[in-house]
Amino acid sequence: MSGPSQLAASVESLAQEFDGHEATWEDLDDRKRRPIDSALRGIDAEASECVRTAVLANEHVALRRRFKAFALAHTPPSFYRDHADRVRPIGRHALADGLDSAYAVRSSYVHRLKQLPDVVISERYFAETVNDGQRTLLSFQGLARVARAVILEFVSRQPRIESEPHDYTREHSSMSVGQWAASVWMGNPAAVTPNNGRAWLEGLLEQLAEHMLSPSSTATLNVRESVAAVVKLLPNLEARLQLPYLAAYFILNAVLPPDGRLPDLEELSERYGRKLEVASPESMVLMSILERTPPWSLDDGAAALDKHLSRRSHENGYRFPWIFDVAMSLSLAERYRTSGQTQMARERIALTIESFPGHVELEVLEQSLDPLVPIDWAGIIAPGLRRYEGNAESSAP
């Protein structure tokens, strides 16, 4: 990156906390995005896209405005007095235009690879400001002095402390930071809280994946006390917080041997079973593990699965072990196959390969797909996969 762009970027970096604007649609705060999405519900796709494009355009304008407002707010009066004995120093009224042009020039250079104006970077020009048509541009020298003044003013306004607390233990080369394995905390009833359902479902699937893929695994699911806490908590939760706990309960009950089944199955199935009849990450992973045909349509299943996979890294998304994401994808492909839509099954398998590369078994399936042969996700992912004992049909809602 060139000098002028680096200077503009340095000021922009400090301005990130200057207001609450975000840059892209998907990264917008849910409080800003959801009302617009709700208002656009029922409007045709083309009109909705036009609205979102307009919103994004305004967000870009807001970024430029934030950069300019931050720099102006942190340009002290001394900037126009001290060390201002330059060739054509920029004045207060012209600074807003100069900053606006600097941001535009920097964006064109970084995002569209447009060459910086010669009058900005050429060593032949010693003035701090130059004119490019009607625009007032800050030269490299001018932008450098503005950036220096803004950064120094920003630093001078920060709270002053004698010493800053810092945990140096994490800087030791022999230490690393990581998450606790689910087997460590899931057996503790205290981990069953209203907002911990997602972690609980992910933790259960983490342990199941280890058990299913490792023939030598001796892992046991010692969570009966926690399950009792789940059953007690469920009536007090809103529907969206119930789903992960319900899916975890029914999955756990299905994979346990018949003599170890959980209590309250019939009551919970009767009371909450219908909540899992709508396509969602929770219900899809449950139906895939049980190898059951779900009650929702193919279109609803495809839309829910794609949304789940696209939001795996979001705060409100699920990061299931890869085996279960593949299981959901191949289960959907099998539904396409049984409905006679072989081409759609092929496309779903291809998308699964591209989403989870490196598994030869999936590529073999793509090459050898037979419309008359069922797609057995468990046998395809790992031929020696350990299936759980017990009658899954009697263990689910």
Q: Cα 82 to chain center, whole Å?
A: 47
d(CA 64, CA 10) in angstroms, rounded, equals: 14
Q: Which residues contact 51 (CB under 8 A, 6 or more apart)?
A: 36, 40, 43
Report whether 49 contacts 85 (CB < 8 A): no
Query: Between helices 322-338 and 342-355, what is the axis angle to 10°?
Result: 170
Nearest to 198 by CA among 290, 366, 311: 311
Name beta bridge partners: 137.
Answer: 130
Structure tokens at 92: 């207060």
**pTM of the full predicted structure?**
0.65
User: pLDDT truncated to tens, each residue of the chain (397 aa)?
Assistant: 455 556 666 666 666 655 544 445 564 556 667 788 888 888 888 887 787 777 766 655 567 777 888 888 889 998 888 877 778 888 888 888 888 877 777 767 666 677 766 666 665 557 888 777 777 778 778 888 888 898 899 889 888 888 888 888 878 888 877 888 888 888 889 999 999 999 999 999 988 888 777 766 665 667 888 888 999 999 999 989 999 999 999 998 888 777 777 778 888 889 998 999 999 999 999 999 988 999 999 999 999 999 999 998 888 899 999 999 999 999 999 999 999 999 999 999 999 999 999 888 999 999 999 999 999 998 888 654 544 443 344 445 6
Instruction: Give the CA count within 13 Å in the CB-facing half-sphere of 391.
Output: 4
Question: In 260-277, which positions are buried (b, 16+ CB within 10 angstroms) versus exposed (e)?
Answer: eebebbeebbeebeebbe
What's the confidence (pLDDT) of residue 390? Answer: 38
What's the confidence (pLDDT) of residue 23? Answer: 45
Structural domain spans, the chain: 3-156, 182-394
d(CA 22, CA 43) in angstroms, rounded, equals: 25
d(CA 191, CA 232) in angstroms, rounded, equals: 13
Q: Which residues contact 316 (CB under 8 A, 6 or more apart)?
A: 30
What's the confidence (pLDDT) of residue 22? Answer: 45
What's the confidence (pLDDT) of residue 300? Answer: 96
Report whether 201 contacts 246 (CB < 8 A): no
Burial class, 251, CB count within 10 angstroms (exposed 0-12 / middle 13-18 / buried 19+) = buried
Report whether 251 contacts 204 (CB < 8 A): yes
What's the confidence (pLDDT) of residue 124? Answer: 58
What's the confidence (pLDDT) of residue 303? Answer: 96
Question: In 340-376, which positions are buried (b, 16+ CB within 10 angstroms) versus exposed (e)?
Answer: ebeebbbebbebbbebbeebeebeebeeeeeeeeebe
- Dihedral angle, C-alpha 194, 195, 201, 203, nearest 10 °: -110
Instruction: For residue 35, give Cα distances in angstroms to 41, 55, 146.
Output: 10, 13, 40
Nearest to 158 by CA among 348, 310, 318, 14: 14
Name beta bridge partners: 138.
Answer: 129
